[in-house]
Amino acid sequence: MNKRRQRKKRLPTQAIELDIQRLSHDGRGVASINGKVAFVAGSLPGEKVSARYTRRRSQLDELRTEEVLASSAERITPACEFAALCGGCSLQHMDPAAQIAFKRAVLLEKLEHATGLTEVDIKPLTTLCADPYHYRNKARLAVRFVARKGGALVGFREKHSNFIADMNYCSVLAKEVADLLEPLRRCISGLQACDNIPQIEVAVGRISTHNQVALVIRHLLPLNDKDLAVLQQFGDQHLCDIYLQSGGIDTVIKHCPEDEVQRLYYRLEEYDLSMAFHPMDFTQINSEINQQMIPLAIQLLDLQAEDTVLDLFSGLGNFTLPVATRCKQVVGIEGSEAMVSRGQENALANGIRNATFFTASLCETITGQPWAGQHYDKILLDPPRSGAIEILDQITRLGAEKIVYVSCNPATLARDAARLISQGYRLMSAGVIDMFPHTAHVESIAQFERVG
C-alpha cells in the first residue's frame, strides 16, 4: 500500500503541452512524449492541449486535458454541464458527425486488419443515427451518501475516478429518468438506510400513450417500514415502478405499485408487436436505433416467405419475432432460460406461431441439439462483446446462404468475419449503428453471403 502511494506521488504535478495526432479506439487523443505514447482524455486530433498526468506505465502514459490551447474544428460545447466530470460520456466535446466518422474508421480499420479486405471491397451501409440526447433507456446508477456533499449522490462515476459525479441531471438518460435524478438524491438522503444503498438500476419502457420507468434499488441491509413507505410515496408521486434487490438478480421483487405486473413494454410498430420485458432483462439501450436496426437486419437477410431462419443469441425475441412476420419459420437460441421464457411469452402474447425458442450454450458443441440438425436458409447473429467464434465453424455447416451479424465490438466482429470468410462466406457490406452517441462504443452490422 505504501509503495502504491509513493508511486502516485511520483507523477509530475505540472501540466504539459501536447500536440494531439489522432484518436485511439477508446476515444482518447494520442500524443507522443519523448517518443512514448500518451493517451490524453478530452482531446481531439489536431489540437494543442495542456494536460496533466493521471497514470504512468512503462509503455505508455495517461493524461487528462486541463485546457485546450488550440482547438479542433470538430470541437463543440457539450450540451451537458457535467460532461467534463461525468464518466457516462467520453465524446460530448466532439461534433456528432465527427463521432460517426471516427466510429466508421474504427470499424473499417478492424475489418481491414483482420480480413485483408479494403474499403473498396466492403460495401458501406448507411450509418443508423437518431437523436443523440436522452436516448438511454437502461442504466446502472451508482449511489453513495456523502455527508460533506449534503446527502446522497446518484449518477455515473467520475472520469478517471471511482467517485460518483455530483450531478443532478443527465442529457443522455431518458428524459423521464434525467428529471428524477434530483428527486432521487433527496429521497435517498432521507432514508435511514441511505448508507446501505449502492446502486439503482434504471429501465424505461416506451409505449404509445406514455413511457414507463422502473427503478431497481439495491440495498445491503433490510429496509425498515418507514423507508419502504418513503419509497412507495416516491413511486406514487413520480409514477414509476419501484423494485427492491437485496442480493443477486433472483432477489429482485416489486415493491410498488401493488400489482402483479412485473413487466415493461416497448412497441415495434412496423411489425405490430408489443415486447414485454422485466426491468432486469437485457434490452437494446436506444429504442430509436432499435426501431431502425431491426428493419435493416431483415433487409440484409433478404427474407423470403419460405425461409427458415436461425436467430442466435436471441434474447427475448427482439429480432426473432419481427423476422417471424416475414418468413416461414424462425428458431431462436439463447443461453439464458429466463430470456428464452420471455421470448416464448412474447411470441404467445403477439400470436406468433412460427417462432420456436431453445435454451443452449453457444460456447459449446451444438451436436445433438434438437434444432441443429436441419437446414437454415438465413442466420442472424447478435452475440455479446466476446463475439461468436466458438459457434462459427458449426453454423457454417448448416447451409445458410446469408448471415447477418450484429456486433457490439468491432474487434470480435473483425475476428469472426475472418473466420466466416475462411469457411466459404464473402463479406458483402458493413456499417455503423450509433447505439451509444457521445461514447467510443461502436455497434455495427455486417452481411455475409455463401460463395458458390
Give the confidence band of 260 by pLDDT, cuts at 50, 70, 90: confident
- Averaged over 360-364, what is the pLDDT? 93
Q: Do 92 and 166 meet the contact criterion of CB atoms below 8 Å apart?
A: no
Report the alpha-carbon distance of residue 395 to residue 298 in Å, rounded: 19
Query: What's the pLDDT band for 6 if we cut at 50, 70, 90?
Result: very low
**Considering the chain, what percentage of its residues have pLDDT values greater than 90?**
91
Q: What is the pLDDT of residues 190-201, one digit of tens each?
A: 999 999 999 999
N residues, the chain: 452
Tens-place pLDDT, residues 248-258:
999 999 999 98
Q: What pLDDT band is residue 9 in, cutting at 50, 70 and 90? A: low
Domain boundaries, the chain: 2-75, 105-131+286-450, 138-265
Same fold, 105-131+286-450 and 138-265: no
Average pLDDT over residues 71-77: 97
Mean model confidence pLDDT for the chain = 95
3-state secondary structure 237-294: HHCCEEEEECCCHHHCEEEECCCCCCCEEEEEHHHCEEEEECCCCCCCCEHHHHHHHH
CA atoms of 176 and 431, how far apart (whole Å): 31
Select the more confidently predicted residue: 428 or 7. Answer: 428
Long-range pairs, 390-396, Cβ under 8 A, ≥24: 390/362, 390/363, 390/364, 391/312, 391/362, 391/363, 391/366, 392/416, 392/419, 392/420, 392/423, 393/419, 393/423, 394/365, 394/366, 394/367, 395/310, 395/312, 395/366, 396/420, 396/423, 396/424, 396/425
Quick: pLDDT tens for 23-51: 999 999 999 999 999 999 999 999 999 99
pLDDT at 38: 96
- 257 cis-preceded (ω within 30 degrees of 0): yes
What is the DSSP secondary-structure string of 123-172?
Answer: EEPPPB---SSS-B-EEEEEEEEEGGGTEEEEEPBBTTSSSBP--S--SS
- CATH fold of 138-265: OB fold (Dihydrolipoamide Acetyltransferase, E2P) (2.40.50)
Q: Which three cell numbers stand for residue 318?
A: 427482439
Tens of pLDDT, residues 120-179: 899 999 999 999 999 999 999 999 999 999 999 999 999 888 999 999 999 999 999 999
Residue 125: closest CA among 285, 287, 292 = 292
Nearest to 447, CA basis, from 431, 436, 434, 435: 431
Q: The cell 467517485 sits on which residue? A: 163
**Average pLDDT, stretch 236-261?**
94
Arithmetic mean of pLDDT, 352-361: 97
| Model confidence at 299: pLDDT above 80 | yes
Domain 105-131+286-450 grouped into CATH 3.40.50.150? yes
Stretch among 200-209, 271-280, 425-434 having the lowest mean pLDDT = 200-209
Three-class DSSP category at 382: coil
Domain 2-75 superfamily per CATH:
Nucleic acid-binding proteins (2.40.50.140)
- CA quadruple 244, 246, 248, 254: dihedral, nearest 10: -20
Task: Give the span between the Cα atoms of 251 and 257, in whole angstroms.
Answer: 18
What are the catalytic residues?
408
pLDDT given at position 2: 52
Q: How far is Cα of residue 271 from the mean position of the Cα atoms in its chain?
A: 24
What mean pLDDT do residues 279-289 have? 97
CB atoms within 10 A of CB 61: 24
DSSP state of 396: G
What percent of the chain has pLDDT above 70? 98
Which pLDDT value is given to residue 1? Answer: 47
Nearest to 98 by CA among 129, 75, 70, 124: 75
**Is pLDDT at 241 greater than 60 in this prediction?**
yes
> Lowest-confidence range among 91-100, 177-186, 205-214, 253-262?
205-214
pLDDT of residue 8: 52
